[in-house]
Structure 1
Amino acid sequence: MSTPHRVAFLVYDGVTLLDLAGPAEVFKEANRFGADYRIVLLSPTGAEVTSSLGVRIGVDGAVAAEPAPDTFLVVGSDVYPRARVPEDLAQAARIPAAVAGRVASICTGAFVLAAAGLLDGKRATTHWQVAAELAARCPTCRVEPDAIYVRDGTTYTSAGVTAGIDLALALVEEDHGPDLARDVARALVVYMQRAGGQSQFSAPLQGPPPRSPALRTITDLVTANPSGDHSLGALAKHLNVSTRHLTRLFHDELSTTPARYVEGIRFDMARALLDQGHTATQAADLAGFPSYESMRRVFARKLSISPAAYQRRFRTARRATAGDGLAG
């Protein structure tokens, strides 16, 4: 019998209730489709806390008294973009983060991670209104204000409020694959992936990041802006290395070529855009394909169908689930 995946949320006085409830609901709903998440709520001292709405939140225990979580999430609050994070709260984040399989923040929870030193030297995001403040408090962070969520190794940060749902769905997809995550998204009547974000597409969330810092720089660059100029020459110039050396890095670590990697990211972006209702021409343009025809060839090679046929199948599946009765 498999061991449940422990998902621990750090809560504290003033937390935004939706930052907690939205992601927690994703993990709970995933259990209906075969996942095995055990959700626990932790506070710095083990005492109940009060949300920004005045709702009291009971907890399962204190941070220091709980076993190591598999996933540790810090909930956001309106308080700490305006005030400094107290040391006891920062320490409450450090303790489980040191032993967790992965660490994440919801919205302004990134300020707690930053105060704990957990974002130093990493890419991160938060609510766009306070992104500049996060960058000021964590000068070594590379803050991306337009991203829905960002992954840097085993650290994840998400944008404002409902972006926590996007992040939770991505974590479920990482654990159980896109089919189960899509079932959860449909059950909750939310988009599985939103268009317009920089790092919310499924491909970059699958598998560990490259070991080489140089290659990691390139994959992050492509993921953040799939439609940019990512020719072999441009990517090699970005690192100030030869095209041969860059090609060798991709071959040794990712068993692919730079061109195939870029194509794969663009394919996943185009597929997500089609899932969300964009036309095939729009998807090709937004994903960075030189033309619709070039995108069509990739779909034919990978899926043996055209983009239009793929979109019809997805829409048919959505209509088929529309009659599923759900109380609520």
Structure 2
Amino acid sequence: MSSDPHRVAILVYDGVKLLDVAGPAEVFGEANLLGAAYRIALLSTTGADVTSSIGMRIAVDGSAATHTDPDTLLVPGGDIYPRTPVTRDLAEATGDLAARAGRVASVCSGAFVLGATGLLDGRRATTHWKIAGELATRHPKARVEPDAIYVRDGAMYTSAGVTAGIDLALALVEADHGPDLSREVARSLVVYLQRAGGQSQFSAPLQGSPPRSPALRRVVDLVTADPAGDYSLAALAGRLNVSTRHLTRLFREELGTTPARYVESIRFDIAKSLLDQRHTATQAASMAGFPSYESLRRVFARELSISPAAYQRRFATARREQDG
């Protein structure tokens, strides 16, 4: 690996989300322990310290205007965007640093800061799914992809919310040092071994609010740990030490579904993840706990109106575009 430091400038501002800063910074810092040479600098528009969205003060290393040209510029998000317009000084500082950077990245609503500079015009981009529509409205020249964890368009990277910034940083490390180091960083940080950019932000068990009942939350843990296990109504009730009638009532009252349909939704999400990881549809069906490929195909047809193979082809296309 090169001994020359790779300069990462993280542009912070009042109201910035702390995890959007700390998550990627930890990835780069962990990579340094494994042989990389990232030099991280926190910058603000004036060089003054800033206050995060939770009130914690963030000490900065200097101002955007006077800092050395960065190899990577990272703009984190903040809860203030898109509620308020991006300030002129932040947009100008971003534009100045971006013009001097080798590549530019944003986390979550940091995409609005990039958009305010015109950097997203004519490019593919993403942000948190809740505000993706607003990003598309404000910046109609950008091609917003609301369902991606992160999007790469040339030397421009944008990502979804909060923890997706860790996926983004892992992708940057992989681009610099290859997949082996990126995987080692992920293992060290005990995070997912790395979700690809084209993978959906959405997860079947996570689309609604988490179950209030400990018994129902336990169902997610059980199925995720062993997707192919026996989760018939009787088996679930036995493992949760409740009656089948009580368990059925909990699902109906709290989630508006049946135990069987909820287990199927978790398996469906696992199967999608396995397809994203390039397992065959038959392998994904078996590993996710479906009794056959045909049963998985029926769920895909009902939920997405496409086959597992078509879903995988679409994901592979998105991945090639990310890597291109």
Whether the TM-score (by the shorter chain) exceeds 0.5 is yes
When residues 196 and 140 of structure 1 are mapped into structure 2, their CA distance, relative to the original with a 3 A threshold, is closer
Conserved 8 A contact 1:6-1:39: yes
SS at match of 1:98: helix
Equivalent residue letter for 1:279: A
Quote the residue 1:242 is aligned against: none
Equivalent residue letter for 2:9: A
When residues 140 and 185 of structure 1 are mapped into structure 2, their CA distance, relative to the original with a 3 A threshold, is same
**Runs of 5+ consecutive residues of structure 1 not aligned to the other structure:** 201-267, 293-328
Cα offsets for 1:246-283 (capped at 9, x unmatched): xxxxxxxxxxxxxxxxxxxxxx9857265xxx837579
Q: For 1:176-187, list aligned pairs within 5 A.
A: 176-187=177-188
**C-alpha deviation, 1:78, in angstroms:** 0.7
Q: Which has the larger radius of gyration?
A: 2
When residues 154 and 195 of structure 1 are mapped into structure 2, their CA distance, relative to the original with a 3 A threshold, is closer
Quote the residue 2:284 is aligned against: 279
Q: For 1:260-271, list aligned pairs within 5 A.
A: 270=275
Quote the residue 2:14 is aligned against: 13
When residues 195 and 46 of structure 1 are mapped into structure 2, their CA distance, relative to the original with a 3 A threshold, is closer
Quote the residue 2:66 is aligned against: 65
Equivalent-residue separation in structure 2 for 1:8 and 1:176 (angstroms): 19
Equivalent residue letter for 1:174: A
SS at match of 1:64: coil
When residues 140 and 271 of structure 1 are mapped into structure 2, their CA distance, relative to the original with a 3 A threshold, is closer
Overall identity of the aligned pairs, in %? 67
Equivalent-residue separation in structure 2 for 1:197 and 1:37 (angstroms): 26
When residues 194 and 182 of structure 1 are mapped into structure 2, their CA distance, relative to the original with a 3 A threshold, is same
Equivalent-residue separation in structure 2 for 1:20 and 1:120 (angstroms): 25
Conserved 8 A contact 1:8-1:41: yes
Cα offsets for 1:36-92 (capped at 9, x unmatched): 000100000000000011100010100010111001000100102111111111001
Conserved 8 A contact 1:193-1:272: no
Cα offsets for 1:289-311 (capped at 9, x unmatched): 48x9xxxxxxxxxxxxxxxxxxx
Quote the residue 2:127 is aligned against: 126
SS at match of 1:47: coil
Equivalent-residue separation in structure 1 for 2:121 and 2:128 (angstroms): 18
Q: For 1:129-208, list aligned pairs within 5 A.
A: 129-194=130-195, 197-198=198-199
Is 1:25 the counterpart of 2:26? The answer is yes
Conserved 8 A contact 1:151-1:199: no
**C-alpha deviation, 1:196, in angstroms:** 8.9
**C-alpha deviation, 1:99, in angstroms:** 1.3
Quote the residue 2:56 is aligned against: 55
Quote the residue 2:263 is aligned against: none
**C-alpha deviation, 1:152, in angstroms:** 0.5
When residues 199 and 96 of structure 1 are mapped into structure 2, their CA distance, relative to the original with a 3 A threshold, is farther
Equivalent residue letter for 1:127: H
**C-alpha deviation, 1:193, in angstroms:** 2.3
Equivalent residue letter for 2:159: S
**C-alpha deviation, 1:2, in angstroms:** 2.7
Quote the residue 2:104 is aligned against: 103
Conserved 8 A contact 2:150-2:197: no
SS at match of 1:25: helix
Cα offsets for 1:181-226 (capped at 9, x unmatched): 00000111111223794489xxxxxxxxxxxxxxxxxxxxxxxxxx
Equivalent-residue separation in structure 2 for 1:198 and 1:270 (angstroms): 10
When residues 66 and 198 of structure 1 are mapped into structure 2, their CA distance, relative to the original with a 3 A threshold, is same
Cα offsets for 1:100-128 (capped at 9, x unmatched): 11000011000000001110111000011
Equivalent residue letter for 1:113: L
How many aligned positions are there? 222
Q: For 1:297-316, list aligned pairs within 5 A.
A: none
Equivalent-residue separation in structure 2 for 1:280 and 1:183 (angstroms): 28
**C-alpha deviation, 1:288, in angstroms:** 5.8
Equivalent residue letter for 1:128: W
Quote the residue 2:81 is aligned against: 80
SS at match of 1:42: strand
**C-alpha deviation, 1:21, in angstroms:** 0.3
Conserved 8 A contact 2:122-2:142: yes
Conserved 8 A contact 2:151-2:197: no
Conserved 8 A contact 2:76-2:107: yes
